[in-house]
Amino acid sequence: MELQCKVQNYEWGKKGSASKVAQLQKGANRQFEIDENLPYAELWMGTHVNAPSVVKTTDKPLADVITQHPEYLGEEVLKQFQELPFLFKVLSVNKALSIQAHPSKKHAEQLHAQFPDVYKDPNHKPEMAIALTPFEALCGFRPWPQIKHFIETIPELQEVVGLDSTTADGDLIRRAFKQILTSSKSIISAAIDSLLKRFAGSDAGERCFLHADLVERLHSEFPYDNGILMVYFLNYLQLKPSEALFLGANEPHAYLFGDCIECMACSDNVVRAGLTPKFVDVETLCSMLIYEGAPPEEKLYSPAREDGFSVIFRPPVPDFAVVQIKIPSSEVEYSTIARNSASILLVVSGNAQSSLGAVGSGTILFIPAMETVAFTNICGDLLMYQALANV
């Protein structure tokens, strides 16, 4: 059945028709008018109460359909979750999202019990991002020698951290990370002003080493924010379309710019510590992080080939997996693989006929477990993403 899904207009989203979210919503609904001054940040597909999807022909919430027909979930999903366990999204990021991490299942339950007004549900929130356009992110700690070198060679960073660099690497990074996030605004402001002056007098090589362009951009978005200096602690990744990141529990990260497919456990649990006007919880974040350094290429998550046209990203959690389907216009027809889980399929580009009628950019389908959808009259290369439970 075709779904009508909701857009979130968070202020960090891309504005107007530059947003992939707006483009897809317009493709699905010709009556949808794009406001060029409005940010279109996220498209939510699923049953989460904050923006539940409805069946397009009946306006009935998808959650109600599943309640009436639990067999749609699939036997294993019904047994393990009793509901659709994932939230599927498209993100269009124009301005950095907060430096954040997501708690483990057990920790999420504890945080929800202690601070229910801040951590509003007890579920964990592992997530995956697959680039639709060139996509920038900070993800995971840099290798220890790299962070240590930054601390030792950037006077402004040394001034804020104020630690003996002979300290054991892991302890140094842990303490330095927390020191930056807890330093006063006056200390951070002085360090950033000094850095900006240094950039102005630097040649291209030094600016590249110091990530000057990125620091200047983050400062323009969040002036004098403590999180700006996290550039020197976290890996800076520039994903090409179809490249992916998987973010498990306690992995520090921040999305910076671009459009992506995102899938996660059905949760909204976030612990923030910088680059945000929202509530920050530095103590909780610093206590929960995985302090392990790794090169950026190790953060990329590779899919497995399923057939000639589809690959599947299977993270090490049961809540979700994502299939990427690319069908060239030279193909006469294609049928999706029957899954043991209910799934949501998004058409990103191309056009075709299906058993439900014409589909094109922005079409979103709910597919019950073990059902398939056949596509014919394929026009233009058909790019689709399908989210399902990983059971």
Distances in whole angstroms, Cα of residue 213 to Cα of each of 76, 200, 220 = 48, 11, 11
- Are the C-beta atoms of 93 and 8 separated by less than 8 Å? no
333 is in an annotated binding site: no
What is the residue whose two structure tokens read 């030279």? Answer: 330
124 is in an annotated binding site: no
What token pair was written down for 230? 């996290």
Of the candidates 139, 90, 135, 326, the one whose C-alpha atom is nearest the C-alpha of residue 240 is 135
Of the candidates 173, 166, 165, 167, the one whose C-alpha atom is nearest the C-alpha of residue 144 is 173
User: 244-247 and 86-93: which strand pairing?
Assistant: unpaired
Three-class secondary structure of residue 104 per DSSP: coil
What token pair was written down for 360? 């094109």
Helices assigned H by DSSP within the chain: 20-28, 62-68, 75-80, 105-114, 144-153, 155-161, 169-182, 185-200, 204-209, 212-221, 282-288
Q: Which of 174, 207, 272, 305 is catalytic?
A: 272
127 is in an annotated binding site: yes
253 is in an annotated binding site: yes
Three-class secondary structure of residue 69 per DSSP: coil
CA distance 219 to 143: 24
What token pair was written down for 376? 């014919």
Of the candidates 289, 276, 368, 295, the one whose C-alpha atom is nearest the C-alpha of residue 144 is 295
What token pair was written down for 369? 């477990």
User: Dihedral sign, CA of 20, 266, 56, 34?
Assistant: negative
CA distance 219 to 275: 9
Please tell me the number of Cα atoms within 13 Å of 255 on its side-chain side.
28
What token pair was written down for 98? 């907060």
Told to judge if 272 belongs to the known catalytic residues of this protein, a careful annotator would answer: yes
Annotated active-site positions, please?
Answer: 272
Q: Residues annotated in the binding site for Zn(2+), as ranges? A: 100, 102, 127, 253
Q: Residues annotated in the binding site, as ranges? A: 100, 102, 127, 253
